[in-house]
Structure 1
Amino acid sequence: MTQLASSYDPKTFETALYDAWEKAGHFKPSGKGEPYTILLPPPNVTGTLHMGHAFQQTLMDALVRYHRMRGYDTLWQVGTDHAGIATEMVVSRNLALANTGETRDSLGRDGFIEKVWEWKAQSGDTIERQMRRLGTSSDWSRSTFTMDPQPSEAVVEAFVRWHEQGLIYRGQRLVNWDPVLKTAISDLEVESVEEDGFLWSISYPLADGSGTLTVATTRPETMLGDTAVMVHPEDERYAHLIGKMVKLPLTDREIPVIADDYVDREFGTGVVKVTPAHDFNDYQVGLRHNLPMINLFTPVAAINDNAPEKYRGLDRYEARKVILAELEDLGILVETKAHKLQVPRGDRTQQVIEPYLTDQWFVKMDVLAKRGLELVENGSIQFVPANWINTYRHWMENIQDWCISRQLWWGHRIPAWFDDAGNCYVGRDEAEARAKNTLAADLALHQDSDVLETWFSSQLWPFSTLGWPNEQAMDARGFERYLPSSVLITGFDIIFFWVARMIMATDSFTGKIPFKDVYITGLIRDAQGQKMSKSKGNVLDPLDIIDGISIEDLVAKRTTGLMKPKDAPKIEKATRREFPEGIIAHGADALRFTIAALATHGRDIKFDMNRAEGYKNFCNKLWNASRFTLMNTEGSSFTGVPQPRTDAERWILARLAAVSAEAQTHYANYRFDLLAQCLYEFAWNEFCDWFLELTKPALNGADADDANSTRHTLLYVLEALLRLLHPLTPFVTEQLWRQVAPRLGITDDTISLRPYPTAEEFAGDFARAEADVEWLKSMVNALRRVRSELNVPPSKLVPLLLQGGNDDDRARMTRFTSSLSFLLKLERIEWLANGSDTPPAAAAIVGDLTLLVPLEGLVDLGAERARLDKEIARVESEKEKSGTKLAKFTDKVPAAVVEQERVRLVEWTAQLDGLRSQRAKL
């Protein structure tokens, strides 16, 4: 006992245990058994562990630990993503803070990339260190960075192959453009924010002088790029104008009136301007009607040379002011009114994103998407929950070609070279590009300055991490053994951006599926159901929950670096109200168990700190139960399976078998919430409360054989319970197991490599014992409730009178007399003849048996009358509910359900009769 502390303090052992696991190599694949593989969605190398990471990684780790214990050859492939935009921003900010005068542009491409690698070496593994604190049991020796040589080779190979197949092409398209980063960005990096704006109505004169058309716009600066005005083809108001020309104000151009059913006749005047180079919907209209596409902006969103000279060089919003003033002077600004609009902002810079016409590289998606949908529709890949297939199907059926180029320096540079005439040559390197195209040795070439977007390399993750396309590396890393992986755990927000692309790419390049199951998790929200965000100041750091944080540090963390500093006082006030003393240290196990308990199959998951506090108490309960067991088995040593002598032992072994089977079912169905619930109920209620209590008569009794058998079963069940809990709570179970295992002759180094419990391990014919102990529990609960309601001190002995009952009740009373007397502090137990007079007594009903505790000398009779009245009212209500249910049942209700309710009605009726009889005697 000197080795197990008197109180549960996770800080004293969690980090040391993890270091020991990793040093011993317990997380590496064993090479034996059926393979079980999980891919970690690679977090940004710039990032830190947040609640979304903690949530998903806890579930992954539980599955990996569970399958490792079941003898699978487990590989959890981890790594980080180079995060092109985020990393460039971090390093650029660091350069500015250093105040040396160095900037991204002053360093040049090679110099800046060198600085990025320096930063990566110093700070790039922060999130992996934090993952260790959570207990992530991944093979860190195989950790992969998307810019490592092997995955970089895979990126080049994938690009070249798809280009050779005609799936990658270069063309001019409309993209999301960030004018601060000066690069195209993906839809996932654009946030649509509702903001206050204006709707301006402008009069466009018809070229023949016959009238005007009034159009409405929220972006008047783009009118300089209009190439048509548009009406609905069935709008009778404008049918006679279709095909005519209008004069575009502020320019010397004329543009046509066209008809397209995209127009909403009810919005505004029913006439809209068409600016194909600056609006995604207009772009599609432009393609349908073969309209010119005039790009108005420079890469920093200033007006370019395609506009009239007087506007050139103006910032987009300065140009807006000038244009509106001129329109008003001309008398053609018809109306200005307030208008709510959805504004696209870049998630990194918060700048308004421009639809921008530029030359980019694209992947043709139609054929790939058709195959990707087929693999899910035919069941090769399963979504859990199954309804997410509908989201997947919708995206795949409405897919657009994918813009894969980014105007950055940090990332995988596109393997394409241009000559001075603009001709493009693709190859794995420049030499191959020259050889494939038989180019003259003296022809000058320059490589494309763009890089591939991060999702391009991430889509290759299932097989680039396994050595593809290098055959030697594939053999070394187990390509054939570990692909496909077993399950992917990820959020619904990247089903298309990552999950779908991995499916398409893996099939295209390897002919395999990337994973068998896709478990889609919900989004972690705060206790009020709001999305966690820095701007709201409601973000929870999982490491703060694990290790604790003072209120001062928590306030500083939440209010530093806000996009809107004016929000700081409001956030500080809310934080101090929610956590007046800061956040206490809960330990990794309590956080992990909380996450598992919250992991329903719903879309949103509310994180309540009270749940974490409750599960810290759960870990503490387990700790104290282990101390009880160790103290009561001091000097004992056992081997093999117990041969139980007492009903309590048989009952707990039966319950252990049942919960082991239930746990396997929940793992198979990805129901971590039900898994946590069943393990909690078994550990807290059945083992820590009931079984420990039921062992005391044997441990303190005169029968040495019963006592010794009970000690064996105590240790045996506790060791199995620790194994059951280990995948969810690895630290506390390891720490306790190391004390318990030696007493059972177990010489293994770690619980993490012990077999996971199965029902067969504890098989036995214990049905009778289960029924008997459930009866005993009902008796104890009933009598304890009476003692509590009568406010009888725990140490005071009371008599127990019994009336009614059946032969089973009498047999069980004989067998459990000593246990009941010990557990309930009974003075004596006496059977009364049926129908005989009884003294005023507090009554409880267990089945057919009436339990009576004489009131003389114990309680105020008036108070007991009130107690019985209350209990009669409760039982009457339950009886009425049961009767109402039976009355409403139709023929469609299963017979078993009907019979169950009939039995309940009989039981409530018997209880009510007994209580009324007792009340009458008072």
Structure 2
Amino acid sequence: MSTEELTNEEIPKHYDPAATEQKWSNFWEENQFFHSEPDDREPFTVVIPPPNVTGVLHMGHMLNNTIQDVLVRRARMQGKNTCWVPGTDHASIATEAKVVQKLRKKGIKKSDLSRDKFMEHAWEWTDQHGGIILQQLKTIGASCDWKRTRFTLEEELYEAVISCFIQLYEDGYIYRGKRMINWDPAAQTALSDEEVIHKEVQSKLYHVRYKIKDSDQYVTIATTRPETILADTAVCVNPDDERYKGLIGKTAIIPMVNREVEIIADEYVDPEFGTGCLKITPAHDPNDYDLGIKHGLEIIDMLNADGTLSDAAEHYVGKDRFEARKLIIKDLEKQELLVKTEDMPNKVGYSERTDVVIEPRLSLQWFCKMEELSKPALDNVLNDEVQFHPAKFKNSYQHWMENIRDWCISRQLWWGHRIPAWYFGDGENEYVIARTEDEALEKAQEKSGKTLTADQLSQDEDVLDTWFSSWLWPISVFDGINKPDNREVNYYYPTQDLVTAPEIMFFWVARMIMAGYYFRDEKPFSNVYFHGIVRDEKRQKMSKSLGNSPDPLKLIEKYGADGTRVGMLFASPAGNDLLFDEALCEQGRNFSNKIWNAFRFLSMNKEAGTEYTPTLELDSDNLADRWMKSRILSTMKEVENDFEAYRLNEALKKLYSLVWDDFCDWYIEVSKSDVPGENMPKENLERALGLFELLMKLLHPFMPFITEEIWQRIQNRSTYEALTISEWPDIEGEADSEAIELFRQIQEQISAIRNIQAEMGLSPKAELEIKIKPAGSELAQQLETESWIYHKFLTISDIQFDTSIDKPKASASALVRGTELFIPLEGLIDLDKEKERIRKEIAKMEGFLKSVNGKLSNEKFVENAPDAVVEKERQKKADAESDIKILNESLENLEA
């Protein structure tokens, strides 16, 4: 793509993101600027946190991928071989739920289909909706290596997952067992602990009487789940609780089912909670299950997979668990067994995917032992081999890893990686682990000592937890499982930066670190940057389901991709939640317009037929050039430090100020011709264009589209040249601190004079006589030498710099760092009218102050009014006194 036409065509008056973004997105992809192959450069590898294959872009994706893109674009410009691998996750629970919902609308039940037929529908859904989100990521400017796009259910990655399962099983880490798990009645599958979201809800605590056999006595238990009474197999008290010592060993009768159970004692029971008397339901509570094992109690499972009551419940069979709760309460009331009901806050577990209340359930599942796997993953985070940014997240990581539990890895679904277990008999241990049916048959015959046929084998119906494939992601995307010594994985692994939210620290980050050290004996990445969660003004997490989340694509349509990226990053301090405000995106759009207007102004200063060569060779005798170069140098060093510390929003804010305030508002102005209406001198324009080109490079990682558009227009480029692959500016030389300090003083003085003009109602075009009394003779000489700068920003009839200047009669003044500024006002304003106006204002303020003092001198008001009201009146008094003082000083200046 030649840029000659761009540099010669008329520059539009307004920047149009819609006309720019798709053009450069196509240009970058067509020229494969983002594609990577191993070579002799330093690699910079990032793997995208794979979004759900059927998902669509939301605010979390927008933030996460913008941050990744900033890091990747900068690394690419630094000359590193950047490889940002995109991809999608098959998302077992979410995708299967969508397919089941779609089939239901067609009148088809999943149970009516064979597994193969259901998988046809699932793949059809995936083919239809999969990849939409990756296309949407392109609209925000994500510079991924799109040729490397991976999918967790593609053939090679499927094989990798199965290989890892087999390796872990053979090494003794994977086992099958009947344990208490989290059960999702909606998805009808097991969940890991990390897939359970605990919400504080308002529950009820029901106090129920249990009769003591062969007596008139009762004990009262308290429960939030009265429906589970039907599966109670014991009553438990604390052995030291004086209230119940006499009942230990006796028999209680469970209401409704009239089951006789023993009253047992265990220190686990908290005498202070509820009634101090606990019902034990081993099949439906993990703590009760442990007590049941300890005391050899019967285990009664009263729930079906869908959350309805089973035959074992004896009552309300087939009723939903929450409907059964209402019914049992009514029946307990009728039998006068319900003592009372209390409201209480309660933390209840909800499914992370379906948002239904989970049920603890005893179930035969596949588990992965985690204690040994977690040790190197913990040690290498604590010793900073893997660095967390911000480091504060190491504490929660350490706590979780030190209290880790075995991972339930099986899911009762069809969409996913099918567990490679093959059963050949009726016993729980009559199975083999194999890659194929033929291999399974051979192993089954060897294990059983019998001659078997393929018809006698049946593969496990379950699939693996989605995270079991995701934990391999940094390795598997480079085929490092199937081909552990291939060129790509040896070059790109370990990756450099992982960008993610802390909410999946345990779902994903911790497990990837475990997998990295187990399967490759090496960390999966060097740095983990945890960004915050996008929240609304009420601090609620933004969610389309809550209706509090804007559509990122509509934001891009309204503010442009660059403007939206800037808005997101402005609101995103490192490691803290992002309180999103759409006004920040508007600010980002305004910044784009400011940049465009500056470029358009510089371009309009070109003389027709004259060649302009942007240059960074600045005039060493020109204070403005020395200052601007030094401001860029110092800002670049600060930005480098911010990147090292992953303070991207701080880096952007510094560049924002450098471009908007320093370059646009001061440097361009000071570089203009001394003659109004004339074009900027050629040498000034070439220096301004050179600096502007440099600034576009610094801004490019944050605002890729507008910077590419301007960079291509500044001067002719070759066919395959692009800002996105240009060199990141080197930091050479030291900033001239004296130039920065002197220019800053001049800026502050000019600003102070402008403030006087505004306060006194002077026209900006009014010619001013300015008298400046510097703090020292050396400064006076320096300011006088640079007096030309004042003329660039102010309309001046005369300006003097002298340490012996006395305050002129009837003048306005200001003090800036020990330097006094005077503007004689005679002839500029009607002094008598101004003095009369000030006297009236003083009288008005004194009247207001009198009324405030009246309130504060009233003892009853001070004693009885709320503290905030009294404090507000005291502040009014202080403000009024300050205003009166300033007005009197102004009056004195005019009368002097």
Coarse TM-score class (shorter-chain normalised): 0.7 to 0.9
Partner of 1:111: 117
Q: What does the per-residue CA deviation read over 1:736-777, in whole Å, with 9 as the maximum and x for residues that have no partner?
A: 1111143xx7886110111112321xx367444334322332
Pick closer, same or farther for the CA change 1:188–1:214 going to 2, 3 Å.
same
CA–CA distance in structure 2, aligned partners of residues 329 and 678 of structure 1: 72
Mapping of residues 87-98 of structure 1, within 5 Å:
87-97=95-105
Compute the TM-score of the two structures, normalised by the length of structure 2: 0.88
1:843, 1:918 within 8 Å by CA — same for their partners in 2? no
| Residue identity opposite 1:442 in structure 2 | T
Match of 1:400 among 405, 426, 429: 405
Secondary structure of 1:357's partner?
Answer: strand
In the TM superposition, residue 833 of structure 1 has moved relative to its aligned partner by: 8.2
CA–CA distance in structure 2, aligned partners of residues 454 and 108 of structure 1: 22
Q: What does the per-residue CA deviation read over 1:761-805, in whole Å, with 9 as the maximum and x for residues that have no partner?
A: xx3674443343223323322222222222222223222234465
1:697, 1:819 within 8 Å by CA — same for their partners in 2? no
CA–CA distance in structure 2, aligned partners of residues 272 and 863 of structure 1: 87
Secondary structure of 2:578's partner?
Answer: strand
Pick closer, same or farther for the CA change 1:14–1:32 going to 2, 3 Å.
farther
Partner of 1:722: 696
Partner of 1:880: none
2:629, 2:735 within 8 Å by CA — same for their partners in 1? no
Match of 2:43 among 25, 29, 35: 35
Pick closer, same or farther for the CA change 1:442–1:748 going to 2, 3 Å.
closer
2:614, 2:690 within 8 Å by CA — same for their partners in 1? no
Match of 1:480 among 465, 471, 490: 490
CA–CA distance in structure 1, aligned partners of residues 721 and 378 of structure 2: 46
| Residue identity opposite 2:417 in structure 1 | H
Secondary structure of 1:772's partner?
Answer: helix
Partner of 1:17: 24
Mapping of residues 552-631 of structure 1, within 5 Å:
585-631=558-604
Does 2-11 or 394-403 show the bigger shift? Answer: 2-11
Report the count of equivalent residues.
834
CA–CA distance in structure 2, aligned partners of residues 693 and 587 of structure 1: 28
CA–CA distance in structure 2, aligned partners of residues 764 and 697 of structure 1: 29
Q: What does the per-residue CA deviation read over 1:9-39, in whole Å, with 9 as the maximum and x for residues that have no partner?
A: 2111111111111111111125342111112
Pick closer, same or farther for the CA change 1:698–1:39 going to 2, 3 Å.
farther
Is 1:124 aligned to residue 130 of structure 2? yes
Partner of 1:919: 893
2:232, 2:282 within 8 Å by CA — same for their partners in 1? yes
Pick closer, same or farther for the CA change 1:102–1:312 going to 2, 3 Å.
closer
1:215, 1:271 within 8 Å by CA — same for their partners in 2? yes
Does 815-824 or 155-164 show the bigger shift? Answer: 815-824
Partner of 1:227: 233
Secondary structure of 1:334's partner?
Answer: strand
2:202, 2:345 within 8 Å by CA — same for their partners in 1? yes
Secondary structure of 2:681's partner?
Answer: helix
In the TM superposition, residue 329 of structure 1 has moved relative to its aligned partner by: 4.5
Secondary structure of 1:306's partner?
Answer: helix
| Residue identity opposite 1:728 in structure 2 | F
Partner of 1:752: 724
Partner of 1:463: 475
1:697, 1:818 within 8 Å by CA — same for their partners in 2? no
Pick closer, same or farther for the CA change 1:329–1:736 going to 2, 3 Å.
same
CA–CA distance in structure 2, aligned partners of residues 230 and 58 of structure 1: 55
In the TM superposition, residue 614 of structure 1 has moved relative to its aligned partner by: 1.3
Secondary structure of 1:626's partner?
Answer: helix
1:174, 1:358 within 8 Å by CA — same for their partners in 2? yes
Pick closer, same or farther for the CA change 1:833–1:471 going to 2, 3 Å.
closer
Is 1:365 aligned to residue 370 of structure 2? yes
CA–CA distance in structure 2, aligned partners of residues 524 and 614 of structure 1: 18
Is 1:212 aligned to residue 238 of structure 2? no
Pick closer, same or farther for the CA change 1:863–1:411 going to 2, 3 Å.
farther
Q: What does the per-residue CA deviation read over 1:484-520, in whole Å, with 9 as the maximum and x for residues that have no partner?
A: 1112111111111111111111211111111111111
Match of 1:431 among 417, 438, 448: 438
Partner of 2:266: 260
2:424, 2:444 within 8 Å by CA — same for their partners in 1? no
Secondary structure of 2:786's partner?
Answer: helix
Mapping of residues 49-88 of structure 1, within 5 Å:
49-88=57-96
CA–CA distance in structure 1, aligned partners of residues 805 and 721 of structure 2: 64
In the TM superposition, residue 213 of structure 1 has moved relative to its aligned partner by: 1.7
Q: What does the per-residue CA deviation read over 1:167-214, in whole Å, with 9 as the maximum and x for residues that have no partner?
A: 111111122222232211234444444555543322222335373221
Secondary structure of 1:587's partner?
Answer: helix
Partner of 1:520: 530
1:216, 1:271 within 8 Å by CA — same for their partners in 2? yes
2:233, 2:297 within 8 Å by CA — same for their partners in 1? yes
| Structure 1: stretches of 5+ with no match in the other structure | 548-584, 874-911
Secondary structure of 2:479's partner?
Answer: coil
CA–CA distance in structure 2, aligned partners of residues 198 and 701 of structure 1: 79
Match of 1:739 among 713, 730, 734: 713
Secondary structure of 1:696's partner?
Answer: coil
Secondary structure of 1:390's partner?
Answer: helix
2:92, 2:466 within 8 Å by CA — same for their partners in 1? yes
Partner of 2:853: none
| Residue identity opposite 1:239 in structure 2 | K
In the TM superposition, residue 82 of structure 1 has moved relative to its aligned partner by: 0.4
Is 1:667 aligned to residue 643 of structure 2? yes
In the TM superposition, residue 727 of structure 1 has moved relative to its aligned partner by: 0.3
CA–CA distance in structure 1, aligned partners of residues 402 and 519 of structure 2: 22
In the TM superposition, residue 93 of structure 1 has moved relative to its aligned partner by: 2.2
CA–CA distance in structure 1, aligned partners of residues 507 and 317 of structure 2: 37
In the TM superposition, residue 619 of structure 1 has moved relative to its aligned partner by: 1.0
| Residue identity opposite 2:373 in structure 1 | L
Secondary structure of 2:167's partner?
Answer: helix
| Residue identity opposite 1:475 in structure 2 | N
1:92, 1:103 within 8 Å by CA — same for their partners in 2? yes
Pick closer, same or farther for the CA change 1:679–1:748 going to 2, 3 Å.
farther
1:525, 1:606 within 8 Å by CA — same for their partners in 2? yes
CA–CA distance in structure 2, aligned partners of residues 815 and 917 of structure 1: 34
CA–CA distance in structure 1, aligned partners of residues 580 and 258 of structure 2: 60
In the TM superposition, residue 281 of structure 1 has moved relative to its aligned partner by: 2.4
| Residue identity opposite 2:514 in structure 1 | M
Pick closer, same or farther for the CA change 1:339–1:830 going to 2, 3 Å.
closer
Is 1:300 aligned to residue 290 of structure 2? no
Match of 1:779 among 749, 756, 774: 749
Partner of 1:843: 813
2:615, 2:691 within 8 Å by CA — same for their partners in 1? no
Partner of 1:819: 789
Compute the TM-score of the two structures, normalised by the length of structure 1: 0.85
CA–CA distance in structure 2, aligned partners of residues 94 and 280 of structure 1: 35
In the TM superposition, residue 835 of structure 1 has moved relative to its aligned partner by: 6.3
CA–CA distance in structure 2, aligned partners of residues 636 and 63 of structure 1: 36
Secondary structure of 1:13's partner?
Answer: helix
Match of 2:660 among 670, 684, 702: 684
| Residue identity opposite 1:756 in structure 2 | W
2:239, 2:245 within 8 Å by CA — same for their partners in 1? yes
1:324, 1:333 within 8 Å by CA — same for their partners in 2? yes
Secondary structure of 1:839's partner?
Answer: coil
In the TM superposition, residue 43 of structure 1 has moved relative to its aligned partner by: 0.8
CA–CA distance in structure 1, aligned partners of residues 57 and 626 of structure 2: 45
In the TM superposition, residue 481 of structure 1 has moved relative to its aligned partner by: 1.4
| Residue identity opposite 2:562 in structure 1 | D
Secondary structure of 1:53's partner?
Answer: helix
In the TM superposition, residue 441 of structure 1 has moved relative to its aligned partner by: 4.3
Pick closer, same or farther for the CA change 1:701–1:261 going to 2, 3 Å.
same
Partner of 1:44: 52
| Structure 2: stretches of 5+ with no match in the other structure | 1-7, 846-885
Match of 1:452 among 457, 464, 475: 464
Q: What does the per-residue CA deviation read over 1:670-690, in whole Å, with 9 as the maximum and x for residues that have no partner?
A: 001210111011011000101
Partner of 1:582: none
In the TM superposition, residue 863 of structure 1 has moved relative to its aligned partner by: 7.3
In the TM superposition, residue 230 of structure 1 has moved relative to its aligned partner by: 1.2
Does 272-281 or 805-814 show the bigger shift? Answer: 805-814
Match of 1:385 among 368, 381, 390: 390
